[in-house]
Structure 1
Amino acid sequence: MILETSVVPRDSAEPCADRLVLGEHVLGVADGATKKPWDTGPDGAELAEAVAGHLAATAAGCPAREAVDGATALVRGLLGDAGVGSAVSFCVLHLGRREIWRVGEGRVLLDGLPVPPRPSGERIVAEARALVLRRHLADDVPEATLRADDPGRAAVQELLRALVGLRNRPDPRYGYGALDGQDVPDLFVEVVPVPGGVREVVITTDGYPEPAPTLAEAERLLAQRLARDPLMLDPPETKGKRPAANSFDDRAYLRVAL
């Protein structure tokens, strides 16, 4: 039974790239990648919409590998050129199989206990951005100035390109999985069995740095973080909260009782 859901764009003036996956057998979230300057074709929001609908139609007996391959084929058809352009990550609960399927950075709580995602090179990009911003802060550049025109984000553009170049490459340290039309290696298709005693599952996109057992608590923690650290430096993220935005990233939340 679905207990709570929410989808909130980081900026009401921009399309939200996060979606809920609400199917008969599969429930979860899809997260379209933030648009990069070099992206072509459909953006993350369009891809996330298509993937969310595709995953929602997952059959009762469908295994994770089949679902990922089907979604990959869909994205390949939309992009036209595999691996070039935007991408989508997702995290869902297959109700009948009692499995969490995750490709990418989705957050999961099983009765309040986190199931951390695989590490990837994104942390290096985030640390590099934070390094640049901390240098400017040390030079007494006002925080508001850095939020309006983020020199850290500008400085890591080549690192972001390198990170995209390792998407769906089986590099155990820096590689990561996403639906971008390329085949997703088994290494990046996480299948997490949900133990029989688990009563509640929470799945969110990474727009919630600290997922919580209830939506109200997740929103409270996010608001506290944004008030304390709008540049998103500690711990570091690859982008911060812009002056007109309500958060640093789009966000989606799903809470389910089993």
Structure 2
Amino acid sequence: MIITEQYLKGKFDDAQQCEDVIFTSDDFIAVIDGATSKAGTIAADQITSGKRAGQLISEVLSTLPADTDMQSAISNFNQLITAYYHQNKSTKYYWDNPIERLTASTVIYSKNKHELWMIGDCMALINGKLITNYKKVDEVCSGLRSAFITNQLMRNETSVEQLSKSDTGRNFILPLLRWSIQFQNCGYDHEFAYSVIDGFPVSPKLIKQVKLEGSAKIVLSSDGYPELKDTLEESESILERTLKDDPLCIDLFKSTKGLRSGTVSFDDRAYISFVV
């Protein structure tokens, strides 16, 4: 594996607040996207639940044998997160209250298996072919946020500047975002069900496992890019244009959140490209 480019940048201009992680070793390369908490912090040391999830997944990856398969890797991730739960409350508490779980999406390349594992909504390019695992509920919430904000702007009830300080559209969809977490690893076959790493079983139907053939150029990223391209420069350029032309992320690129005062992007972002 030869790494050609990598980049990590938080939505705040402060690396300590970034919840995305890039992991590299001789055996695995991964991007981990810690989920933005809908309930505040979970750790006594005030580390956000998304950041803690990313730290634990990285810790597991650093110790996994090279020949570990996908299901064993997921099991190991969940075991460490479950152990963390036991230190705080009970596993049943976190099952009943999914809003408080340590949650992360990840996309992992295994050198030994020559496979890509995608749990959650990170992205990948394999020889230029895009692979995604979008959440249906995010599409719905993004559309509702876009409609709500557009209506306010249309009626001159607010401005782009005001919305950058107080995202009324985000506030409008937040109850739905919190409610939708009930579909997270819910074990129910439904179009709104989605997979993440959160300490609980992941439905195989919601995982993307890609077996590669021969050599390949691979790009892995979190969902902090509107479009993923073969080079970091191209991906960053599209992001820059999007934030300039659609800072609220309601038109060119609909999202559940936009560029806010004090941030440098709508989300954290991680990018790594390599050749195998």
Amino acid across the alignment from 1:179? I
1:156 equivalent in structure 2: 173
Report which stretch shifted further, 115-124 or 240-249.
Answer: 115-124
Contact 1:23–1:58 (8 Å) recurs in 2: no
Structure 1 residues 93 and 166: CA distance shift in structure 2, 3 A: same
Contact 1:27–1:56 (8 Å) recurs in 2: no
CA deviation profile, 1:48-101 (whole Å, cap 9, x unmatched): 122123124332211101101110111122234434313111001111211110
1:178 equivalent in structure 2: 196
CA positional deviation for 1:171:
3.2
Among 197, 220, 230, the residue aligned to 1:213 = 230
Report which stretch shifted further, 34-43 or 160-169.
Answer: 34-43
Among 58, 76, 82, the residue aligned to 2:82 = 76
2:221 equivalent in structure 1: 204
- Measure, in 2, the Cα distance between the counterparts of 1:240 and 1:77: 35
Unaligned runs of 5+ in 1: none
- Measure, in 1, the Cα distance between the counterparts of 2:177 and 2:58: 25
Among 97, 103, 126, the residue aligned to 2:113 = 97
- Measure, in 2, the Cα distance between the counterparts of 1:164 and 1:188: 15
CA deviation profile, 1:13-49 (whole Å, cap 9, x unmatched): 4610000121221102001011213663452112212
Aligned residues, how many? 257
CA positional deviation for 1:119:
4.1
Q: Does 1:245 pair with 2:263?
A: yes
1:193 equivalent in structure 2: 211
Contact 1:106–1:117 (8 Å) recurs in 2: yes
- Measure, in 2, the Cα distance between the counterparts of 1:250 and 1:79: 25
Q: Does 1:66 pair with 2:69?
A: no
Q: TM-score, normalised by structure 1?
A: 0.94
CA positional deviation for 1:118:
4.6
SS at match of 1:195: coil
- Measure, in 1, the Cα distance between the counterparts of 2:40 and 2:17: 18
- Measure, in 1, the Cα distance between the counterparts of 2:185 and 2:153: 36
2:7 equivalent in structure 1: 6
- Measure, in 2, the Cα distance between the counterparts of 1:150 and 1:195: 45
Amino acid across the alignment from 1:15? Q
CA positional deviation for 1:12:
2.2
Structure 1 residues 22 and 211: CA distance shift in structure 2, 3 A: same
1:165 equivalent in structure 2: 182
Q: Does 1:122 pair with 2:128?
A: no
Among 237, 243, 247, the residue aligned to 1:230 = 247
CA positional deviation for 1:233:
1.1
CA deviation profile, 1:212-256 (whole Å, cap 9, x unmatched): 101111111110111011111123111111122110000000101
SS at match of 1:203: strand
- Measure, in 2, the Cα distance between the counterparts of 1:122 and 1:219: 22
Q: TM-score, normalised by structure 2?
A: 0.88
Amino acid across the alignment from 2:260? R
- Measure, in 2, the Cα distance between the counterparts of 1:32 and 1:138: 35
SS at match of 1:54: helix
Higher helix residue share: 2
2:55 equivalent in structure 1: 49
Structure 1 residues 185 and 236: CA distance shift in structure 2, 3 A: same
